[in-house]
Amino acid sequence: MSQKITSYQGREITPDDVKQGKYLDIVYRFEPKYSWAAGVAISRFLTELKDGKIVARKCHKCERILVPPRMYCEQCYRPTDEWVQVKDTGTVNTFSISHVGTDARRLKTPILVAVVDIDGASPGMGILHNLGEVEPSKISVGMKVQAVWKRPEERQGAITDIRYFKPMES
Amino acid sequence: MRRRVAIVGAGMTLFRRRMLETPKELSFEASKMALDAAGLTLKDIQSVVSGSAPDAFDGVHMKGEYYLDGMGAIGKPHERVYVGGGTGVFTPIGGWWNVASGMYDTCLCVAEEKMSPLHPHPQYAFWSIFDQILERPLGTTLLWIFSLEMRRYMHKYGIKEEEIAEVAVKNKGNAVDHPCAQLGANITVDDVMRSEPICEPVKRLDVSPPSDGAAAVILASEKVAKKLTDQPVWLDGVGWTLDSTHWTNRDLAYPEYVEKAAKMAYKMAGIKNPRKEIDVAEPYDPFDYKELHHLEGLQLAGKGEAAKMTVDGVTQRDGDLPVCPSGGLLGVGNPIAAAGMMKICEIFWQLRGEAGKRQVKKDARTGLAQAWGDLMQVGTVTVMRS
């Protein structure tokens, strides 16, 4: 604030005001429902997940193997060329121990979350997923992990067909 | 032919967790203060550019149309610009197009945010920025991308949480001197380290708060600016770039999109050696490590070296490169778009020597403000000169 300005506008509603209902408001709950088509590339990706496989798209110009797959290469700006099966193992690029859920409420059991660089894809091609079967204190960047799949009859063609990634047995 | 553009007035409201004022009322207060500071009335304003982050906070679709009367935009050319958290600095960039292009001689730029309407917590709105097919089913929260990025940054350069905490200590301390600040406080590294873990390695005191507030500046062409004031602050360089939303495919240790945006702004402003030529900087600091990350992207610190610079006191108000003398988002508060605009206001006041107790020690002639946003993908940068 400039020292030339001597008063500042704004009236705070304090936590006490909220508790005591000392301000007027209107409350409304918005409950829309959406159905998102998964798209050309991701529909195939999800279908393959249902079969217990992770697939990528390859661009023949830059030679990158892209996960998540896309039908166009955003760098070469041309259609990608072929489907490639990659491995269901990878490396922890980074991780976090999350004590809060989507709406910022505290969780009883923390969620373990990581970016996992997928083996067989180009370097740095990671996906977001959860980690499991590991003590939080034992997780490290660079750790090798493998997918733990749902049983085939439980899979739905969703990212959650992989339950989580767990440390690879050496 | 590009015209030179000046900032001739700035204003802002208090930043608080929850405000009584509506978005329109907040916008009016900040805009009126900026007009008064410039010695102008709304009749003198030819166009209006506004900025506000996700509509999901307010639950008001077409927010730009909803709030425009509070922004003085009735019957005037008005545009709302949006690049997530980068919006606050993008708003005067939008105004710069209006004036630099020769279209208008005066432009009011206003950024407003009310995060408080959304319950149980404004964080909830950020769930919808993640990929709806591949990421949301995992139970995402915005804090994940920060904690994952912070971990990668620490890992790559061997930086400790204690070093990062120095940023929170500095910025919250600086904010004690800001009359609009929500969270000014004198805290210690120990306080940060002992604060509640939210998404490890992110702890409570590593994070800026949700806030309500507004901030505004007036832009003018060179001819008009020189008539209005002896102290115009020139908006000499602007830059902005975005990367894709494939954030898990990116090097999370270094914000390349910020580097690109900075280089665009530096080239326009004729800056060859940013570390020597920038006297005071307001990089985006929604989390303490982000200030370091951005200083590196902005070429104001070498890769992995911003933490040491902070520990050594270089970025203090009396240091060689004062960083976030306002108190930043960590201290003043983070009403998303308004927070970026607050940084523009701070550099304006610093370069005019009007920052009072917050005035940096060195004779600051060139300053920089930067914001960042969306899924680790946006950099918006402005270079300003007195």
pLDDT digits (tens, 9 = 90+) for B326-374: 999 999 999 999 999 999 999 999 999 999 999 999 999 999 999 999 8
What average pLDDT does range A106-131 have in this prediction?
96
Are B229 and B38 contacting, i.e. CB atoms less than 8 angstroms apart? Answer: yes
Residue A6 in this model has a pLDDT that exceeds 80: no
Q: Which tens digits make up the pLDDT trace of B171-185?
A: 999 999 999 999 999
Which pLDDT does position B127 carry in this prediction?
82
Residue A21 in this model has a pLDDT that exceeds 90: no
Within a domain: residue A154?
Answer: yes
Q: Which tens digits make up the pLDDT trace of A43-90?
A: 999 999 999 999 999 999 999 999 999 999 999 999 999 999 999 999
Residue A1 in this model has a pLDDT that exceeds 70: no
Residues of B in contact with A46 (CB under 8 A): 133
ipTM: 0.93
Q: Distance from B1 to chain A by nearest Cα, in Å?
A: 32
Which pLDDT does position B77 carry in this prediction?
98
Q: Which tokens is B357 given? A: 């107790």
Which pLDDT does position B61 carry in this prediction?
87
B352: CB partners within 8 A, 6+ apart: A2, B231, B233, B386
More confident residue, B59 or B234: B234
B118 touching A, CB under 8 A? Answer: no
Q: Which tens digits make up the pLDDT trace of B19-43?
A: 999 999 999 999 999 999 999 999 9
What average pLDDT does range A24-40 have in this prediction?
92
Cis peptide bond prior to B274, omega within 30° of 0: no
Topology given in CATH for the domain delimited by B5-119+209-385: Peroxisomal Thiolase; Chain A, domain 1 (3.40.47)
pTM of the full predicted structure? 0.96
CB spacing of A96 vs B148 below 8 angstroms: yes
What's the mean pLDDT when you consider all of chain A?
94
CB spacing of B19 vs A4 below 8 angstroms: no
Q: How many domains does chain A have?
A: 1
Q: Distance from B130 to chain A by nearest Cα, in Å?
A: 11
Of the listed ranges A24-28, B86-90, B278-282, B307-311, the one predicted with least confidence = A24-28
User: Which chain A residue has its CA at the smallest distance from B149's CA?
Assistant: A94
Nearest to B200 among A8, A96, A127 (CB): A96
What average pLDDT does range B276-290 have in this prediction?
98
Within a domain: residue A135?
Answer: yes
* Percent of chain B as helix, strand, coil, to the nearest 5: 40, 20, 40
Within a domain: residue A136?
Answer: yes
**How is B195-251 classified by DSSP, letter by letter?**
SPEEEETEEGGGBPPB-EEEEEEEEEEHHHHHHH-S--EEEEEEEEEE--S-GGGS-
Q: Which of B85, B83, B50, B38 is nearest to B348 (CA)?
A: B38
- Radius of gyration in angstroms for the set of CA atoms belonging to chain B, rounded to a whole number: 19
Within a domain: residue A53?
Answer: yes
B312: CB partners within 8 A, 6+ apart: none
Residue A97 sits in which domain range?
40-167
Within a domain: residue A18?
Answer: no
Are B246 and A125 contacting, i.e. CB atoms less than 8 angstroms apart? Answer: no
Residue B87 in this model has a pLDDT that exceeds 70: yes
Q: With a CB-CB cutoff of 8 Å, which residues 140-179 of chain B face chain A?
A: 140-141, 143-144, 147-149, 151-152, 155, 178-179
Within a domain: residue A7?
Answer: no
What's the mean pLDDT when you consider all of chain B?
96
What average pLDDT does range A10-17 have in this prediction?
93
Residue B163 in this model has a pLDDT that exceeds 80: yes
Are B376 and B146 contacting, i.e. CB atoms less than 8 angstroms apart? Answer: no
Q: Distance between CA atoms of A161 and A140, rounded to whole angstroms?
A: 24
Q: Distance from B19 to chain A by nearest Cα, in Å?
A: 5
At A125 the three-state DSSP class reads coil
Residues of A in contact with B206 (CB under 8 A): none
Interface probe for B, chosen from A7, A23, A31, A98 (most Cβ of B below 10 Å), is A98
Which pLDDT does position A2 carry in this prediction?
65
Which pLDDT does position A83 carry in this prediction?
98
β-pairing, B366-373 vs B378-385, is antiparallel
CB spacing of B20 vs A99 below 8 angstroms: no
B319: CB partners within 8 A, 6+ apart: B313, B361
Look-up: residue for tokens 């901030």?
B215
Q: Which tokens is A127 given? A: 């996906």
Q: Distance from A119 to chain B by nearest Cα, in Å?
A: 13
What average pLDDT does range B189-211 have in this prediction?
97
CB spacing of A96 vs B151 below 8 angstroms: yes
Across the A/B interface, how many CB contacts are shorter than 8 Å?
177
Tell me, what DSSP letter sits at residue B126?
Answer: G
Distance, CA of B174 to chain centre? 16
Q: Which tokens is B20 given? A: 């009584």
What average pLDDT does range A108-133 have in this prediction?
97
Q: Which of A49, A48, A76, A46 is nearest to A64 (CA)?
A: A76
